[in-house]
Amino acid sequence: MLTRIDEATVRDRQSLVEEYGLRSIIDLRTKTEHIEQAQKRDAHIKASVAIPQSNEAVAGPLKIPGITYYDINFNGSAFSRMLISKLTWMEFFRLISLMLFGYRLDAIKILAPSMEAMGLVGLATSSMDVCTKEVREVFEVYSDEKNWPLMIHCTQGKDRTGLTVMLVLFLLGVDVDAVEKDYLRSGPELEGEKEARIKEIATIGLSEQFANVPSNMVRKVHEHMESKYGSVEGYLAKAGVTKEMMDRIKKLLLADEEASRQ
């Protein structure tokens, strides 16, 4: 069952803090995604004015009191530069003009053909290469004991979130088959909103493939990591994650016996 943190009821929010002891949330979404979510929430509130008690989600604050939030735009400036580098000069100037006049979604459409050509797997491996600053920021949060238990999410919870979780599991020595099995569970969980998601991504020029969960994602990410960086430790070190940070994450997430073997 898919549940979005932005749409959680007041009771859900209380449960996250009181029952599960949640301390922090890492949000990997872009500025555009935050704007879209805020617009959806505003529309939801306006629609619920006549019968406010019918939607408990709108009654509480957007952010949960007592939770530390880390907004890390995973597809940030480095990712944008990578996509922009694939544009022609004409496309580049069109994109800049649209952004200047506030047409963010129309600007993103110009990048869509490059994203389509790369596909989700290509975008994931390219993200590994260029989003190293963001990877380091995520692992900095992971490595601090005061942040646990924590939640990490993006919009669909399978691409950016999937990649960062894969990296943690690889660091912990989890078998690729087990990581793949866990990742592929995202597919059935997202099925209920797939049709709506396809319509949504179509507005920025992307096809149905971006609503899917690629069966070869985990293996391709692992192969890219091994072939280019030698190991997960090699990749993370390249991203600026120190050995001390990696060791702290292992200590936090592995049983004592397992941690001593790493």
| Average pLDDT of the residues of the chain | 86
Residue 88's SS3 state is coil
pLDDT band at 41 (very low <50, low <70, confident <90, very high): low
Tell me what pLDDT residue 30 has. 83
158 Cβ contact list (under 8 Å, min separation 6): 183, 186, 190, 213
pLDDT band at 4 (very low <50, low <70, confident <90, very high): low
Residue spans of the domains in the chain: they are: 5-261
pLDDT band at 52 (very low <50, low <70, confident <90, very high): very low
CATH code of domain 5-261 = 3.90.190.10
Bridge partners (DSSP) of residue 71 are: 27
Range of 1-10, 14-23, 163-172 with top mean pLDDT? 163-172
Q: Which among 144, 133, 122 is positioned nearest to 223, based on CA atoms? A: 122
Asked if pLDDT for residue 214 goes beyond 70, the answer is yes
Residue carrying the six token digits 């997430």: 253
What would the mean pLDDT of 161-170 be, rounded to a whole number? 97
Task: Say what the pTM is.
Answer: 0.83
What does each C-alpha distance from 83 to 12, 45, 57, 102, 251 come to in angstroms?
38, 36, 36, 19, 37
What is the phi/psi pair of residue 2, to 5°? -85, 130
Share of the chain above pLDDT 70, in %: 83
Category of 101 on φ-ψ map: left (φ > 0), alpha (ψ -120 to 50) or beta: alpha
Bridge partners (DSSP) of residue 245 are: none
